[in-house]
Amino acid sequence: MSVTEMVRQRVAVAPPAFQGKQFPLLAVLVFLAIFPPLLRTNPYDLGLLNNALIYALLTLGFYWCFALAGQFTFAVFGMYAIGAYTSVWFAKHFGGFWSGLIAAVVITAAVGALTKLAFARCSEIYFAIATMALGSLIVILFREWTSFSGGYEGLGDIPLPSIFGYELATGQSRYYLGLAILALLLVATVLFFRSPVARDLAFARDKGPVAAVTGLKPLRLQLMGFAVGSGIQGIAGSLYAHGAGFFSVEAFNIDLSLLVLLMLLLGGMVSMYGAVIGAVILVYLPEFLRDASKYAEIIYALAILVIIVAFPSGIAGLRYTAERLVRRARRT
Mean of the pLDDT values across residues 177-186? 96
Mean of the pLDDT values across residues 315-330? 75
Comparing C-alpha atoms, which of 220, 268, 233, 201 is closest to residue 75?
233
**Residue 76's pLDDT is what?**
96
Sequence-distant (6+) residues with CB within 8 A of 125 are none
Give the CA-trace dihedral at 315, 257, 36, 272, to 10 degrees. -50
Inter-CA distances, 43 with 37, 99, 196, Å: 10, 27, 44
Mean of the pLDDT values across residues 53-64? 96
| Residue 139 identity (one-letter amino acid) | V
pLDDT per residue over 16-54, tens digit each? Answer: 444 556 788 888 889 999 998 888 888 899 999 999 999
- 24 or 91: which leads in pLDDT: 91
300 with 286: CB under 8 angstroms?
yes
Q: How many Å apart are CA 197 and CA 140, to the nearest integer?
A: 37
Mean of the pLDDT values across residues 58-82? 94
Comparing C-alpha atoms, which of 74, 308, 55, 301 is closest to residue 182?
55
Q: Flag whether pLDDT at 169 surpasses 90.
A: no
**Residue 16's pLDDT is what?**
42
Q: What are phi and psi of 155, to 5 degrees?
A: -115, 140
Sequence-distant (6+) residues with CB within 8 A of 225 are 64, 65, 68, 69, 70, 71, 201, 205
Q: How many Å apart are CA 239 and CA 232, to the nearest integer?
A: 11
**Residue 12's pLDDT is what?**
40
User: Could you say which DSSP state residue 155 is in?
Assistant: B
**Residue 326's pLDDT is what?**
76
Percent of the chain at pLDDT exceeding 90:
50
- 147 or 111: which leads in pLDDT: 111
126 with 104: CB under 8 angstroms?
no
**Residue 20's pLDDT is what?**
54
Comparing C-alpha atoms, which of 324, 36, 314, 53 is closest to residue 184?
53
Instruction: Give, for 237, the enclosing helix (H) or strand (E).
Output: helix 218-244
Q: What are phi and psi of 225, to 5 degrees?
A: -60, -40
Q: Flag whether pLDDT at 11 surpasses 60.
A: no
Q: How many Å apart are CA 193 and CA 206, to the nearest integer?
A: 16
Q: Give the number of residues written for the chain.
A: 332
CA 243 to chain centroid: 18
Instruction: Give, for 137, the enclosing helix (H) or strand (E).
Output: helix 124-144
Q: Flag whether pLDDT at 236 surpasses 90.
A: yes
Q: How many Å apart are CA 165 and CA 171, to the nearest integer?
A: 17
Separate counts of helices (H) and strands (E) for the chain: 16, 2
Comparing C-alpha atoms, which of 238, 201, 304 is closest to residue 96?
238
Comparing C-alpha atoms, which of 136, 86, 143 is closest to residue 109?
86
Inter-CA distances, 172 with 43, 79, 163, 179, 328, Å: 9, 26, 14, 11, 47
Task: Enter the pTM of the model.
Answer: 0.89
Q: Provide the pLDDT confidence category of residue 285 given band limits of 50, 70 and 90.
A: confident
CB atoms under 10 Å from CB of 27, counted, come to: 13
Domain range summary for the chain, segments of one domain joined by +: 21-253
Q: How many Å apart are CA 305 and CA 82, to the nearest integer?
A: 32
200 with 8: CB under 8 angstroms?
yes
**Residue 66's pLDDT is what?**
93
Mean of the pLDDT values across residues 60-83? 94
